[in-house]
Structures are given as C-alpha cells and as structure tokens.
C-alpha cells in the first residue's frame, strides 16, 4: 500500500491518496480543487491509476475537486447514498466493502456533521485482515469532533445526537491502535479546537480528545454545541457549488 496525505493549510484541509501499487489501483479521498495536479502527479509516480474517488460528505468549506478529478481519470466517484447532489455518483451504504487491489475500504455511515457523512476504514490484506487506518472526514478530528450546526439551528440538536451515536457507537468501537486521519486540522472552520497535527489514533483520541470525555449523551450534545463560532458566510455558496454538476464550468 502507498499512502499520501495532501494538506491545504489556508483552510486546514487534508485529502488523501492511497492504494495498491501491486495491482495498480489508487483511491483519492476528499480531493481539493486546488490539488488536482498533485493527485495526478502522485499517481504517475506510483505508476498506478486513480480508479476510485470518495467524498466523506458534501463539503462546505472548499471547492471539491471530485468531479473534475473523476472526469480526468474516469475513476468512479463515491458518496453516501443520502447525498443530495445534482450529478451522478456511485452510492455508498453503511457496511459496504470496496476492494482496491489488495486493499479494501469499509464504509461506516457516521451522520452528525452532515447527514451524508461517512468514515472509511482501510486495510491491506497482504499483511493482515486487521484494518490499518480510518479516514474520519469531518466526524472525528484530532482534538475535536465535527460541528453539528451547519444545517440550520432547528436541526442542530438532532445532528449532535446523531454525532454521539456515530462517534461512540461506531468510531470508538474500533481498535485503539487504528490510525486516524481527518479531513481537517488547525485552521479549519469545521471544528473548534483541532490540533495542528493532522493524524492520531483511536486510542489517543479516546483518552485525550475533550469531546470524547463526555460519555453521557446529553452532556455530549450540550458540549458540541458550545462555543461554536458562526459558520463563515461563504459556506452556503461553496456547499451549493459542490452540490451542483461542475464539469463544463470554468475552473
């Protein structure tokens, strides 16, 4: 397996390219429009094509590169089945397993930050059936969890409750040794207190992530709604752009 983390410090975004070079199949997760050339260059270096592109959810803070990259590579574009987008995609369901050569990607539906949020558990069966890492999107960050307040004030508590279930009943059921790679780090407006270090483990976050100390459902729901800065004004327009078909538009 190869694994590359691509960082975009101005907005605290992290995207990922990984896959099986033995069977020449790569995946990209949460591609950023500004980094299309980087993904293509990494794939060329690995002598393997990008065959799968995943969005962990419809992003609101940066222009997605998923559609453009899919058009350029002919890779399959995956989003959760509930994503309300205006372009064709392959729907992901909770529990799906997608093979990528010797690697595999297991889908966890983890609503809370958004209804269509997923986390992706990834492994390489050449060494072990045990997964190697989890891409946590905007559900779990290093030092925080995703904000549940981006879909209207009336829904924030419901989303916070969903986030509790996603975090405690799905992500924290995973092994402590599993590496965590989120879609944002410090500098992002998608959370409150993210670390500048863009990786962790389930065990470290279980012990030291402030939000994960609130085992009580009600206390967690209250905590994740406290001290949220207002969402940046451009979130609405960026999200709308990411919901729409982008191919054929000027970049």
* Region binding Fe ion by CB under 5 A among candidate stretches 121-129, 136-144, 222-230, 234-242: 136-144
In this complex, which beta carbon is closest to Fe ion, that of residue 10 or of residue 248?
Answer: 10
Does residue number 52 form part of the binding site for Fe ion (CB under 5 A)? no
Signed CA dihedral, 20, 58, 84, 145: sign only: positive
- Please state whether beta strands 140-141 and 133-137 pair in parallel, antiparallel, or not at all (unpaired): unpaired
In this complex, which beta carbon is closest to Fe ion, that of residue 101 or of residue 182?
Answer: 182
* Region binding Fe ion by CB under 5 A among candidate stretches 13-21, 87-95, 131-139, 240-248: 131-139
| Alpha-carbon span 238 to 235, nearest angstrom | 5
| Alpha-carbon span 53 to 43, nearest angstrom | 13
Does residue number 138 form part of the binding site for Fe ion (CB under 5 A)? yes
Tokens encoding 1: 């397996």
| 57 DSSP assignment | S
In this complex, which beta carbon is closest to Fe ion, that of residue 100 or of residue 134?
Answer: 134
In this complex, which beta carbon is closest to Fe ion, that of residue 96 or of residue 138?
Answer: 138
| Alpha-carbon span 6 to 50, nearest angstrom | 15
Closest residue by beta carbon to Fe ion: 138
Query: What does residue 142 show for φ and ψ, rounded to 5 degrees?
Result: -80, 105
* Region binding Fe ion by CB under 5 A among candidate stretches 77-85, 182-190, 210-218, 228-236: 182-190
Query: What does residue 9 show for φ and ψ, rounded to 5 degrees?
Result: -60, -35
Name the minimum Å distance from CB 21 to Fe ion: 30
In this complex, which beta carbon is closest to Fe ion, that of residue 190 or of residue 211?
Answer: 190
Decide: 16 and 66 in contact? Cβ < 8 Å. no
What count of other Cβ atoms lies within 10 Å of the Cβ of residue 130?
A: 11
* Region binding Fe ion by CB under 5 A among candidate stretches 69-77, 162-170, 186-194, 234-242: 186-194
Q: Which listed residue (13, 190, 211, 224) binds Fe ion by CB under 5 A?
A: 190
- Binding residues for Fe ion, per CB under 5 A? 138, 190
């Amino acid at each position: 397996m190869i694994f590359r983390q691509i960082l975009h410090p101005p907005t605290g975004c992290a995207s990922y390219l990984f896959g099986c070079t033995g069977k020449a199949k790569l995946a990209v997760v949460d591609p950023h429009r500004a980094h299309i050339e980087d993904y293509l260059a990494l794939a060329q270096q690995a002598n393997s094509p990008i065959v799968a592109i995943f969005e962990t959810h419809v992003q609101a803070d940066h222009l997605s590169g998923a559609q453009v990259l899919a058009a350029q590579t002919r890779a399959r574009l995956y989003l959760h089945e509930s994503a309300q987008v205006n372009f064709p995609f392959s729907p992901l369901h909770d529990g799906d397993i997608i093979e990528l050569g010797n690697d595999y990607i297991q889908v966890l539906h983890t609503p809370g930050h958004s209804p269509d949020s997923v986390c992706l558990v990834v492994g390489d069966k050449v060494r072990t059936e045990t997964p190697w890492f989890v891409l946590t999107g905007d559900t779990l960050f290093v030092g925080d969890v995703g904000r549940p307040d981006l879909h209207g004030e009336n829904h924030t508590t419901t989303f916070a409750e969903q986030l509790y279930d996603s975090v405690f009943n799905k992500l924290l059921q995973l092994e402590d040794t599993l590496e965590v790679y989120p879609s944002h780090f410090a500098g992002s407006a998608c959370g409150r207190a993210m670390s500048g270090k863009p990786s962790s483990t389930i065990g470290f976050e279980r012990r030291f992530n402030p939000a994960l100390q609130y085992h009580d459902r009600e206390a967690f729901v209250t905590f994740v709604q406290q001290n949220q800065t207002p969402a940046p004004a451009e979130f609405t327009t960026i999200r709308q752009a990411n919901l729409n078909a982008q191919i054929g538009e000027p970049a």
